[in-house]
Amino acid sequence: MSCCGDEVAFDGTSAKYKRVLGLVVVINASMFFVEMGMGFMAQSQALKADALDFLSDTMTYALSLYVTGRSTRWRTNASFFKGFSLGVLGVWVFASTCYQIFVSGIPVAGVMGTVGILAFVANAVSAILLFSFRNGDANVRSVWLCSRNDAIGNLGVVLAAVGVWETETALPDLLVAGLMAGLFQSGAFQVVRQAQIEKNQFRHNLLTPAREHQ
């Protein structure tokens, strides 16, 4: 397995990696349902946004698992889907956060903090499971980086819970939710842009041999 400094980067085509990635998909899918349910119960936009992040990760990892070893066309089309899905989630989080500003409701800080810590543990476990594959190709490495960054992002939810408890207002929760909406949009833009670059390169490679024979 060439994932730790060999000449050819590990591309995810191993039974061990697929088992690990499958387990990470299950962890993220489970946390989506747990965190979204608790988000509605606690009236926390930050928890709902983080739950959608778990949903996004579940789709991303499942797609990464599905397209591993497939053609460039499969991988780029999957990337476009990931990017547009992130964009839709970002719009939903932004719109629901704006709605929450006018509708009231102070989130339950205790629930926010507890679930935020649980989410951090879930992403930390995922990152640890994927750690040995961190130096693979772009597709493989992005999965590990995503889990690592999400674990760091979960701390924002915990800090928001502390802020809600200290200020007795929903402002910290809404600020974190708004920030996460922006991150969704940024991630969507980067994924779609990279997919377009790879698609253009794929087309170029297809056309180049034909031109050489003219």
Per-residue pLDDT for 3 more than 60? no
Handedness of CA 199, 191, 28, 139 (dihedral sign): positive
Under the banding of pLDDT at 50, 70 and 90, the label for residue 9 is low
Using CB atoms within 10 A of its CB, is residue 32 exposed (0-12), middle (13-18) or buried (19+)? buried
Question: In sequence order, what are the residues at sequence separation of 6 or more whose Cβ sits closer than 8 angstroms to the Cβ of residue 169?
Answer: 106
Average pLDDT over residues 180-190: 75
pLDDT confidence tier of residue 4, bands split at 50, 70 and 90: very low
User: What is the value of pTM for the model shown?
Assistant: 0.68
| Greater pLDDT, 2 or 7 | 7
Nearest-angstrom CA–CA distance, 151 and 155: 7
Question: What is the residue extent of each domain of the chain?
Answer: 15-207
| pLDDT bracket for residue 2 (50, 70, 90) | very low
40 pLDDT more than 60: yes
CA distance 130 to 148: 9
**What pLDDT sits at residue 170?**
82
CATH fold for domain 15-207: Alpha-lytic protease prodomain-like (1.20.1510)
Report CA-CA distances (Å) from 210 to 108, 203, 204, 205: 63, 11, 10, 9
In the predicted model, what is the mean pLDDT of the chain?
77
- Output the pLDDT for position 32: 93
What sign does the CA torsion over 27, 30, 34, 40 have?
A: positive
Q: Check residue 89 and give its pLDDT.
A: 72
Looking at per-residue confidence, does 112 or 29 come out higher?
A: 29
